[in-house]
Amino acid sequence: MSQPLPEFGPEFSDQAMMADMLSIDPTGIDPNYPLQVVSCGVPFLYVPLKNLATIRQIKLRYDLWEQRLKDFASPHLFVFTLETELENSTVHCRMFAPALGIAEDPATGAASGPLGCYLVKYGLVKQTRQVALVSEQGFEIGRPSLIHIEVEQENERITAVTVGGQCVYIGEGYLQLSETHV
């Protein structure tokens, strides 16, 4: 899927509050990179973490989310670390979107494109004209997913964002409508 070019939005400056919201030690947030909203159509707040141990500990506190993020530029949280479970992955992620009724999503294509753009913009991945990444997500909820992200750039400007992967058919259903006479 091709996505619109990224828009980099506001930063969330209160790292201590974010750590409390995620139920993690504040030292688990990587202070070298911003907590920032990025969108390729749907805005997400990206939170860089230092390691897998920290990302595995997350338990979102909905009370703090409601106080601080519900009305923020993006109420959707996308946390990531460059430490991965699989050797060929680039980044390990989790996504929380209580505003959409999603406790945690196992694979978020709409958030993966902006993630790739964030990683490219802040130099967290090797800078080439076409950057290919693999995002692992859903591991903590028993639904591991691999999402392929490509970010193209020219003269340090992002020119294209694509996201893809494979999916598994898990079911189908039918809806039968009957006409009612009054």
pLDDT at 172: 80
The residue that leads in pLDDT, 118 or 127, is 118
pLDDT at 173: 80
Domain total of the chain: 1
Q: Which of 146, 143, 33, 132 is nearest to 92 (CA)?
A: 146
pLDDT at 182: 64
Q: Where are the alpha helices (DSSP H) in the chain?
A: 15-22, 52-57, 62-68, 109-121
Q: How far is it, in rounded angstroms, from Cα 166 to Cα 13?
A: 36
Report the chain's mean pLDDT, rounded to a whole number. Answer: 94
| 47 belongs to a structural domain | yes
Tokens of 65: 């989310």
Query: Which residue segment(s) compose the domain that 91 sits in?
Result: 2-164
| 175 belongs to a structural domain | no
| 171 belongs to a structural domain | no
Band (pLDDT 50/70/90 cuts) for residue 2 is very high
| 176 belongs to a structural domain | no
pTM: 0.90
Q: How far is it, in rounded angstroms, from Cα 39 to Cα 74?
A: 9
| 68 belongs to a structural domain | yes
pLDDT at 127: 85
Domain holding 58: CATH number? 3.10.310.10
| 179 belongs to a structural domain | no
Query: Is residue 134 a contact partner of residue 128, using CB atoms and an 8 Å limit?
Result: no
Q: How many CB atoms lie within 10 A of CB 129?
A: 10
| 109 belongs to a structural domain | yes
Band (pLDDT 50/70/90 cuts) for residue 179 is confident
Q: What is the mean pLDDT of residues 143-157?
A: 95
Q: What is the mean pLDDT of residues 146-155?
A: 96
